[in-house]
Structure 1
Amino acid sequence: MSGIAALVLAGGRGERLGGVRKAQLKLGGKRLVDRAVEHLARHCTPVVISTGALDPALLSLPAGAIPLPDLDLPLAGPLAGIVAMAEWMERQGNPVDLVVSLAVDTPFAPEDFVARLAAEIGGAPAAYATSGESFYPTNAVWRTATLGALLTRVRSGAPPRSLRAFLEEIQSVEVDWPGTHGDPFANVNTLADLLALELRGSGSA
């Protein structure tokens, strides 16, 4: 068993964006979901897209990406996407050692994002990205065994409170990226965020 699979967490409802799905937002003329898939596909296979509760057929996903809806469980947010990936990996026979997750609204993820996480996880169950004081539990690398343990917990009726709580509980490794030219994991929660990132991408900020 070797290799790295990737999961794009794209199931957010975009409630603070007027209900617009984050995955469909464009930055520099390109959808956020296309940016994320292109980035991860350079380093990982397969690339799976967590679509949340929405019908994947409505998202017009990039070619080659595998859509993955949430399971019918009382979970929400990125935790639901990670658990769905754990169950999908189990059904595939856990064909890889590691799974990298990336939030879809992270258009400036560093080029070495996958390589550094995979290198620095060491013997830990997981590793996640930080930048300065900011903590990004969605942008992480997971051992397949860790995902299996999470799935077992959920099935037993004892899921963690959140993705962040789970990462802290299992003593995951922090991997820090300096924000010399802005936070590399800056994301989109509001239209103001989108505008700021558009300016950053154009070199105007």
Structure 2
Amino acid sequence: ADTAAAVAFPAIAGESQAVCGLWRASCLDRLDAYVATGRRSLKGFGQFVGAVDVAWRDDHADRFVNINRLEELQAAERRISGLG
């Protein structure tokens, strides 16, 4: 990965995990300009400031769970309860 990148996103199977990105504080200097474009995507802002993806090991892919529906939350809760 580019060590000078403004932000690094973990990526699983080529899919960026923007919420879990590591951001340089200097990204805040460009936030107003990004918002002025009318966009509001966290991943889009990362692209705007020059994000890089860092491949995440597939055997740890379960660390990133996308939960948008009740069924996805329930499945994640079942998976987590099995760890304890």
Give TM-score scaled by structure 2 length: 0.72
Is residue 2:8 matched to residue 1:124? no
Counterpart in 1 of 2:81? 202
Give, in angstroms, the shift of residue 179 of structure 1. Answer: 3.1
How many residues were matched structurally?
Answer: 83
Matched letter for residue 138 of structure 1: V
Structure 1, unaligned runs of 5 or more: 1-119
Matched letter for residue 26 of structure 2: A
Q: Which of 1, 5, 18 is residue 137 of structure 1 equivalent to? A: 18
* Cα distance in structure 2, aligned partners of 1:182 and 1:145: 29
Cα shift readout 1:40-97 (whole Å, capped 9, x = no counterpart): xxxxxxxxxxxxxxxxxxxxxxxxxxxxxxxxxxxxxxxxxxxxxxxxxxxxxxxxxx
From the superposition, tell whether residues 134 and 182 of structure 1 become closer, same or farther in structure 2 (CA, over 3 Å).
same
Give, in angstroms, the shift of residue 174 of structure 1. Answer: 1.0
Matched letter for residue 147 of structure 1: L
Is residue 2:48 matched to residue 1:169? yes
Give, in angstroms, the shift of residue 181 of structure 1. Answer: 5.2
Q: For the Cα contact (< 8 Å) 2:6–2:27, is it kept in 1?
A: yes
Q: Which protein has the bigger strand share?
A: 1
* Cα distance in structure 1, aligned partners of 2:16 and 2:80: 22
Matched letter for residue 24 of structure 2: R
* Cα distance in structure 2, aligned partners of 1:140 and 1:178: 16
Whose radius of gyration is greater, 1 or 2?
A: 1
Give, in angstroms, the shift of residue 162 of structure 1. Answer: 2.2
Is residue 2:31 matched to residue 1:150? yes
Q: For the Cα contact (< 8 Å) 2:30–2:49, is it kept in 1?
A: no
* Cα distance in structure 1, aligned partners of 2:34 and 2:49: 15
> Runs (4+) of structure 1 moved beyond 4 Å?
none
The percentage of aligned residue pairs carrying the same residue is 30
Is residue 2:65 matched to residue 1:193? no
* Cα distance in structure 1, aligned partners of 2:60 and 2:7: 27
Q: For the Cα contact (< 8 Å) 1:137–1:164, is it kept in 2?
A: yes
Matched letter for residue 51 of structure 2: S
Q: For the Cα contact (< 8 Å) 2:34–2:48, is it kept in 1?
A: no
Matched letter for residue 174 of structure 1: D
Q: Which protein has the bigger helix share?
A: 2
From the superposition, tell whether residues 181 and 171 of structure 1 become closer, same or farther in structure 2 (CA, over 3 Å).
closer
